Amino acid sequence: MQRAQDGSESEAPLRREDAASSGTQERGPAPGREWRIRPSTVIGGVALVLLCLVVYLPGFFSLPVVDRDEARFAQASRQMLEAATLPESERRPEVHGGGWLVPMVQDRVRLNKPPLIYWLQAGSAWVFSGGNAFRDAIWMYRVPSLLAAVAAAMMVWRLGASMFDARVGWVGAALLAVSPMVAWEAHQARADLVLLAATVAAMWGLWEVWKRAGGVARHSVPVCCDQTGVDGAAERTGSESRGTRTLRWAVVFWVAVAAGVMTKGPATPLVAGLCALALSVSGRRWRWLLRLRPEIGVMVLLLAVGPWVWAVAERVGWGSYWQTVLDETLGRGVAAREGHWGLPGYHTLLLPVLLWPGSLLTLWGVLLAWRAFRRRGEDTGGRPDMVGAQAAHGTGDGAQAARGAAEAYRFCFAWFAPAWIVFELVTTKLPHYTLPMYPALALLSARAVFAATNRALEVRRLGLVKVPWVAIGAAICIGLPAACFAIGVRHSWSIIPLGLVWVLGLVIWVDQWRRPWDSPRWLGRQLAGIVAMAATAPLLFQAVMPGAKKLWLSQRVMEVVRSADPAGARPLAAMEFHEDSLVFLTRGRVTRLNEADAGAWWRANPGGLMVLPTSKVLRLHSPVGEVEGFNYSRGKWERLTVVGMPAYREQAP
């Protein structure tokens, strides 16, 4: 693969990067030859998978169940598994009546999320528990998230190789894989990473259809490794035509969209639809949308979504189901749900933290993409600042490659910007809502890093880059472990080797950012940030967080409950402490009460146990044990007491 050529001089530093975009080009195979997987492709894939596993596996088995969403997802999936594996005599209709069709948490229907994630999690637990629901563990429900995180990283790598080149694709995938957002989600049994993988697959299919429909010039985008075609640059000859390949990518697109809908509703079609709309409006071309074969899309969506929607609506009632759909879509847009509220700009402020270390030059990558997006596609190839590599090659290939790189920028901008604005305007806000747009930002960030390294992009006001990036990295890599130690960490043997690796990673990172920032060491700094995150994640997830016992109130409550009731035979209730992690740890047998209901529960269950705030303990209660810790779901310290009743103690043998 040829090295990137520096572009022609221009007064605007951003324009010089466009010239560099055109110099990275790799020739395709000779006519009649098929692409083969090269060693560099295998090494790159293995390295990326290993990087993912280094970040995701530590703590995967030892991290306790996390409130609140993970506990809800896992409990609903467990009840599906129990409905399928328990003998009929042991099933409870109020808990297992939903079967594999209607997700339920205890006796409450949970239809605010479609069923695919529950099916995947229940299937994973069925495989690893040998079909015995009572042998399950929280990590079994996390497996789909881990696999989806690895799959998303691999797809971003290959998509980036198709858009720009293999190096940009690999670094962009690595930045996404080690980002705090993805690293944390990979340790949880939630739907967000499955949604991310589905969205990346859909956007990959959309990109391939877009470029084959004329969105990208012939010989325009760098071909890399085993890539099989870029709008005719490396298409196979023989029986496989361009139309056939476009049809295949259209099918990939619609299947991925259907998977996204069945995972988390409208997020994937929203991102993909806004991207297609933005590309059509900016390029003033609409006929390419027919290449997506909407008739196939309608059929795929109806076959994937229709049977489940019909069955559920028949079960719970059409009015109830549509009200749930409206509450989860329009309702979240106009009113904050569950206290998750934020002003416009919420996601943008969190981006430098949640994408770190990839946020080093994200702003510059976005500016480059915006400059390409605001031009009409037919105008980009003829501008002097876009064809700097043409003279270097001595042919017209440079202009074509420049236009292809500009189209890749435009696609990335159309991927993230319209949907990002929508999520900023939505009233209900949570950090992970914008996760489906992170792959585009990671690729733009990686592209900007290579441009700055090649001196094709001039980064001014270095203090605005250095200070936030270093400060955020220090907060994540040093501040988070320190905060856990301040709360109190029960040491384990693993803290010593993991601590040594952590120190080594920090030394590599510090060595890079302490060097002069006016030198073109941008790639080194970016890779050092990846090393720092890869060294911090094992320490944080494996040794520090699981050992910070005061973070895991439900787990400590269960230790007290088991000491008083080893057989698990006594009724159990929780007053005011209604965290879903306690529901999961008790396998759904805990009854959640308000203070007004406590007396009636005691009369009905005189031999039971109750978890309640210490301040609510009465003289007639018989304390069994007390725990204190930080309830991160509510953002406050709590002291809880497990109590029984004297009447039970007198009757006990």
Q: What is the pLDDT of residue 296?
A: 95
Checking if the pLDDT of 378 tops 70, the result is no
**Paired sense of beta strands 636-644 and 622-631, if any:** antiparallel
Banded model confidence at residue 328, pLDDT cuts 50, 70, 90: low
Distance CA 172, CA 447 (A): 8
**84-113, pLDDT tens digit by residue?**
999 998 999 999 999 999 999 999 999 888
Q: Is the distance from CB of 575 to CB of 616 less than 8 angstroms?
A: yes
Checking if the pLDDT of 1 tops 50, the result is no
Instruction: Give me the torsion for CA of 524, 530, 532, 536, rounded to 10°.
Output: 180
Q: Which two tokens stand for residue 82?
A: 């129990």
CA atoms within 13 A on the CB side of 159: 33
Highest averaged pLDDT of the listed ranges 521-530, 616-625, 641-650: 521-530
For every residue of 606-623, DSSP letters joined together read: TT-EEEEEGGG--TT-EE
* Alpha helices (runs of H) in 88-137, residue ranges in sequence order: 93-96, 116-128
Checking if the pLDDT of 359 tops 70, the result is yes
Q: What is the pLDDT of residue 356?
A: 97
pTM over 0.85: yes
**Measured CA distances, 379 to 21, 278, 406, 407 (Å):** 16, 17, 10, 11
Q: Is the distance from CB of 106 to CB of 588 less than 8 angstroms?
A: yes
Distance CA 642, CA 622 (A): 9
Whose CA is closest to 25, among 160, 121, 128, 166?
A: 166
Q: What is the pLDDT of residue 556?
A: 95
**Measured CA distances, 638 to 7, 500, 546, 612 (Å):** 60, 34, 19, 10
Q: What is the pLDDT of residue 322?
A: 82
**258-295, pLDDT tens digit by residue?**
999 999 999 999 999 999 999 999 888 899 999 999 99
Banded model confidence at residue 30, pLDDT cuts 50, 70, 90: very low
List all residues 6 or more positions away from 457 whose beta carbon is below 8 Å from its beta carbon. Answer: 13, 14, 16, 17, 20, 364, 368, 448, 451
Question: Quick one: average pLDDT of 287-307?
Answer: 94
**469-500, pLDDT tens digit by residue?**
999 999 999 999 999 999 888 877 889 999 99
Q: What is the pLDDT of residue 216?
A: 60
Q: What is the pLDDT of residue 518?
A: 82
DSSP state of 337: B
List all residues 6 or more positions away from 376 whose beta carbon is below 8 Å from its beta carbon. Answer: 282, 283, 284
